[in-house]
Structures are given as structure tokens and as C-alpha cells.
Structure 1
Amino acid sequence: MSQDDDHLIDYRDEEEGEGQEWLTTFADLSMLLLVFFVLLYSMSTLDTEKFSQTFSSVTQALQGRMREISTSRISQEEAGVLLDQALMRRQIIESQRKVFAEVKTLQTKKGVEGVISANFEDGVITIRVPGDVMFDSGKVQLTPQGASMVATLKDFFIKHKDQNIKIIGYTDNIRPSSGSRFKDNWEISALRAVNVLRELLKMGLESTRLTATGLAYLNPIYPNTSDEYRAKNRRVEFVLEKRVSGN
């Protein structure tokens, strides 16, 4: 074989090698699309049968490229982990949606109706109670009405043992008066949250499920531009998140 023939063969090998480079990009793109659709599914209420058909179609389309995909930067094993996580996330959201439906029922209970509010977002349930219901102005000890409200929520919390409960105290943006024994709103909001936590502990809730945080005037629901809006911003929130196995 001549030297010219050797150069020709080398050139063809290089040409073939260069022609295969697009497969890596294609494999990455295909896997990302697959994971993207799975994530969309985890956050939606799509028909299960339709999703199964779509998933099967994508899988069949990729069957001829599995060798390239397995060597891409996103491996099949990593994609499988993402798939499991997405499906688990969807299960948690659906489970929390059912708990939230019970919260809406709780809101119609005598003594609670029109007082507490609640919202549901991305699997997290937030129950809000006006601070003026729970505490006297400038005080951190629960009022009798506040203790009664905590007792009502306690029954709901005990029923749903799979929920971690984050208690968050909020104030408005008005600083404590000069004669107050509290330095600032951070101290007031934190002590209020802690006292609610202590009340729940006395009522039998497990300490491992509870945390208490004071965020003062942060995250206002309304701008602090009127007495009405400031009253709405003074609140205690109970943020419920589903406990996963092992926690």
C-alpha cells in the first residue's frame, strides 16, 4: 500500500470521527428533553394513561441511540435518579393536596371560621392566624383566645403526624415603644413563635416535628401603609411540609 493510500485512509478515519461528534450533543439533548417532560409531569395533573403513552413513544425513539446516550454526560443511571425524584415529588404534592383539603374543612369549624386563612403552593401548606388574635399588642404571651386557637390546630396536627411544622412569627414595621421591654420586632416575633411552640409541646406534639422562627417585618402580605394592612401583616404562620422516610 502506497503512502498516498495511507494518508487517504487516515483522512477518512478522521472524517468519520468528526462526523460522529454530533451524537454526543444529540444524546444530551434527547435525555434533557426526556427529563424535562418528566419534571413537567411531576408538577402537573396530566392524565396518567396519556403520559405513559408519551413516555413510551420517547423511549422507543431513543432505543437506537442508547449506546450514545449511555456515554453522554447525562447517563441513564442519572436520568433514572431524576425520574425517581420527579415521581416522588409528584406523590408528595398529591398527598399534600389531600391534607390541604382537610385544612379548608377545618376553616369552617366553629370558632375558626373567618379567622384562619391557608394557601397551598408546591406541596407546602401555610396556615395563617392573625397576630392580634393570638397576642395582645406588644405582648408575647398567648391570650386565652390564642391558646384556644392553638388547641384547635393541635388536633389537626396530631392527626397528621407526617407533617413537619415550622412556626413563624411576624410583626408590622412599627418599632416597639421606648418603654417596651423588647429591643425590636425581631425579639417580639421570635418569642411569639417560641411560645406557640411551647404550647404545642405541652399539648403533646413531638418536639422533632416543630421549629420556631421570628421574621419580624419581613415578607409582608400587604404594604405597611395603613393600620388595616399592618394588622394583616401581624400574624403567626404554621408551615406544613410532609416528612419523608428516614426523617
Structure 2
Amino acid sequence: MARRRHEEEHDNHERWLVSYADFITLLFAFFVVMYALSSVNEGKYRILSNSMVVAFRNAPVNSVGQTPTVMPTPSPAVATPLASKASEGLRQKEREKMRQVAKNILDVMAPLVEQGKVRVLETSRGVSIEINDSILFSPGQAILKPPLAKAMLSVAEVLVAADFPITIEGHTDNMPISNAQFPSNWELSAVRATTVLRLFADAGIAADRLTAIGYADTRPVEPNLLADGRARNRRVTILIDSTIPEKSTELDLQGAATASPGARAALPPAAR
């Protein structure tokens, strides 16, 4: 009888293992929960946090129970068409202003327009004045002919009153040139564009509105096979650009587009 009681008491000494196993189980569960909390999706958490802050910041307080009532926030989809409509209205007004500037230039250069030496075109970027370089410069030269210098001054007077960015582009045909002053058509086209730019600057157009680009023979408007086509390609183009800011889109390392918080003003091609 005493031996049986001794065995039962011996078995009771090992009951601590049950409590120890329960403790280990709880400890494991605790660390699992902690790991789960540390792996919260930061993006979703930030969206939820911002939504809660906005909701409770704008929530009126109920005078009876002092319980905040969450008011629904307006959907951004309502504001987007309005902003788009306003932007379209600004673009339309600017386009009309550009057309008026183009009309004034046509009036100033009417004789040359009738001769087919000057063309005024409306493009997606603005208004483009295309001038045949045979009336502006002698072959292989970058000095304005005196009669056309006066005409270009009249154009400058029209452009001074506007606030649009202006890009002057020099173009040549594909006939090579190589002399002490111009080793290639690149230098010739760039210097011709710069010559017109300097005339505009001297006439009072702000320097930060002006850009000069030399394209050589890389932007032909006609094939260079015939003399008429080469004559058409030798030209100086004056582009009147838009002033409405452009919306920019930033790309991340994966190439995905993300909305940029700011917008930048339209710039001439060389400055973009």
C-alpha cells in the first residue's frame, strides 16, 4: 500500500512538463503575432491612416452623444472633368492668341508669302513660320541680307508684344559644305539660326524666350533628289511655342508611371 502511494507521488512530480509545454506554445503564438504585425503592408497602412485622418478631421460632432459622424469625401472623379475643361479652355484661348500673332506676321511678310518664300503653319505645338533661306542668306553664308533684315525686324516687333517661347531652327539640304568658317552643314545651320536669334534679341525680345537649334539636313520636308526639293529644305523655321504648363509623369525603377506632384512650363525643344 505504501509502495503504491509512493508511485503516485512520483508521477505528480512530472506535471510541470504540462505547464512548460503550454508556456512554450503561448510564447510561440506570441512571436507569430509579433511577426505578423511587423509585416504590415506599408502602402495599405498609409492609405488607411490618411483616410482615417481626413475622415475624422472633417467629421462634425453630434451634440447629443458627442459621437463623430464620418462624412463621405467627394470623389476626385468629379473634379477631374472640371479641371480638364478649364485646361482646354486655356488652350483654346492661347490658340486664338497664337493665330492672331500668325495673322500679324502674315500681314508683315505678305509679299514674300505671295511669292511662296514664306509659309505660316499651325502645328500641335503652336505656330511655325517657315522662311526659305535663299532670301535670308547668300549660299554658304550666315549673314542676313539687308532687305530681309528689315523684314525680320518687323517680325520681331510682332513677337515682342507676345509672351510665347520662340525657337529658331536652321535647316540645310544634303549637299556637303566644308570651308574655313563652316566645316559642315551642322555649323552652317546652327549659325544661321543664331543669327536670327541675335536679331530678335537686339529687337527687344527677352533672351529667356529664345532658343536656336541647328538641324543640318536631318529634317527635310522634301526629298533632296531634285533642285526644287533641296531649295525647299534650305530654310529657317521660327516656332512660336505654348506657354501652358505640361503635366509630367515620373517613372520608377521598374518603368511604371507615377503621377508627379508638380507641372513644368512648356519649354523649347533644346531645353527639354
Q: What TM-score comes out, normalization by structure 2 length?
A: 0.57
Aligned twin of 2:237: 237
Look up the SS of the partner of 1:75 in the other structure. helix
Q: Give 1 or 2 for the bigger CA radius of gyration.
A: 2
Q: Does 1:82 align with 2:88?
A: no
Determine the C-alpha separation between the residues in 1 that align with 2:82 and 2:144: 49
Query: Cα 1:226–1:143, aligned 2, differ >3 Å: closer, same or farther?
Result: same
Aligned twin of 2:171: 170
Aligned twin of 2:159: 157
The alignment's C-alpha RMSD in Å is 2.8
Q: CA deviation at 1:175?
A: 1.4
Runs (4+) of structure 1 moved beyond 4 Å? 110-113, 244-247
1:233 partner letter:
N
Tell me if the contact between 1:92 and 1:123 (Cα under 8 Å) persists in the aligned partners. no
Q: Residues 154-205 of structure 1: CA distance to partner in whole angstroms, max 9, x if unpaired?
A: 22222x322221111001111114x453222111111111111112222222
Q: CA deviation at 1:141?
A: 2.2
Aligned twin of 1:59: none
Q: CA deviation at 1:212?
A: 0.7
Aligned twin of 1:54: none
Aligned twin of 2:205: 205
Deviates more, 1:194-203 or 1:147-156: 147-156
Q: CA deviation at 1:111?
A: 6.3
Aligned twin of 1:187: 187
Tell me if the contact between 1:107 and 1:117 (Cα under 8 Å) persists in the aligned partners. no
Query: 1:1-247 to 2 correspondence within 5 Å?
Result: 70=75, 75-108=77-110, 110=111, 113-114=114-115, 115-122=117-124, 124-158=126-160, 160-177=161-178, 179-244=179-244
1:241 partner letter:
D
Deviates more, 1:234-243 or 1:83-92: 83-92
Determine the C-alpha separation between the residues in 2 that align with 1:211 and 1:218: 18
Q: What TM-score comes out, normalization by structure 1 length?
A: 0.62
Larger helix proportion, structure 1 or 2?
A: 1
Aligned twin of 2:68: none
RCO (CA 8 Å, sep 6+): is it higher in 1 or 2?
Answer: 1
- The count of residues paired between Structure 1 and Structure 2 equals 175
**Structure 2 residue runs without a partner (length 5+):** 1-71, 246-263, 266-272
Tell me if the contact between 1:168 and 1:215 (Cα under 8 Å) persists in the aligned partners. yes
Percent identity over the alignment is 28
Tell me if the contact between 1:93 and 1:122 (Cα under 8 Å) persists in the aligned partners. no
